[in-house]
């Protein structure tokens, strides 16, 4: 279980609360550290998979932990954006419910010894979320750069613009679609769950 790949994956989970604290603190230095930290955490998503394949360290625990670590990192960023009034809370509630639902279904599938088909759009969804988050973090860093007041003001206007809202709305819609796709791809699992409840 304690492979190098899994350690890299766990690192994303451990960095999430530290990142959250740094980005909500209105200090330019902390903000820049948060941007760097998120970039490092996102890179571990590539390295853990690469190392697992290269050294033959793919484990069931790693397969479960990897998407969970992605969710924790992404949600910590989105929650910080809600805290900073950049995006509305309801969007994050929708995304969180989706992520909790798919995680619980994976846990149930593992307990029932059933295979779970990952949503075909899930990886794209995660990539889009990561790109958007990194973009917003850079804009936040620019708004907190007192040494360049003109850019700071224009960045602030961009940060709280309709384009940011509409982009996040599109990401929310895509996230909901991946849940629909997940359900359709795992109908047998859901049918079995319904029978168990009865």
pLDDT tens digits, one per residue of 19-52: 999 999 999 999 999 999 998 888 877 666 666 6
The rounded distance, in Å, linking the Cα atoms of 109 and 115 is: 7
Q: Kindly indicate the confidence band of residue 59, based on its pLDDT and cuts at 50, 70 and 90.
A: low
Question: Side-chain half-sphere of 123: how many Cα atoms within 13 Å?
Answer: 5
Question: If you search the block for the tokens 């948060």, which residue do you land on?
Answer: 34
Name the domain count of the chain.
Answer: 1
Mean of the per-residue pLDDT values of the chain? 83
Q: Are 9 and 69 in contact (CB under 8 A)?
A: yes
Residues 122-163 pLDDT 10s: 778 888 999 999 999 999 999 998 888 888 889 999 999 999
- Give me the sign of the Cα torsion angle 141, 143, 144, 148: positive
The rounded distance, in Å, linking the Cα atoms of 31 and 143 is: 10
pTM of the model: 0.85
CATH of the domain at 46: 1.20.120
Of 15-24, 69-78, 179-188, the range with the lowest mean pLDDT is 179-188
Burial class (CB within 10 angstroms; exposed 0-12, middle 13-18, buried 19+) of 85: exposed
What range defines the domain where residue 34 resides?
4-197
70 pLDDT exceeds 90?
A: no
pLDDT given at position 100: 87
């Amino acid at each position: 279980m304690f492979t190098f790949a899994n350690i890299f994956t766990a690192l994303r989970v451990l960095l999430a609360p530290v990142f959250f604290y740094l980005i909500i603190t209105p200090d330019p230095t902390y903000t820049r550290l948060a941007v760097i930290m998120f970039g490092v955490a996102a890179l571990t998503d590539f390295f853990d998979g690469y190392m697992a394949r290269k050294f033959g360290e793919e484990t069931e625990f790693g397969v479960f932990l990897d998407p969970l670590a992605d969710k924790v990192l992404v949600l910590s960023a989105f929650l910080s954006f809600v805290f900073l009034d950049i995006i509305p809370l309801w969007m994050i509630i929708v995304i969180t419910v989706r992520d909790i639902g798919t995680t619980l279904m994976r846990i149930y599938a593992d307990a029932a010894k059933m295979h779970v088909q990952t949503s075909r759009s899930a990886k794209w969804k995660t990539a889009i979320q990561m790109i958007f988050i990194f973009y917003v973090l850079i804009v936040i860093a620019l708004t907190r750069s007192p040494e360049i007041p003109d850019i700071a003001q224009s960045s602030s206007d961009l940060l709280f613009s309709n384009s940011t809202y509409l982009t996040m709305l599109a990401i929310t819609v895509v996230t909901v679609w991946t849940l629909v796709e997940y359900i359709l791809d795992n109908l047998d699992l859901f049918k079995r769950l319904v029978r168990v409840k009865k």
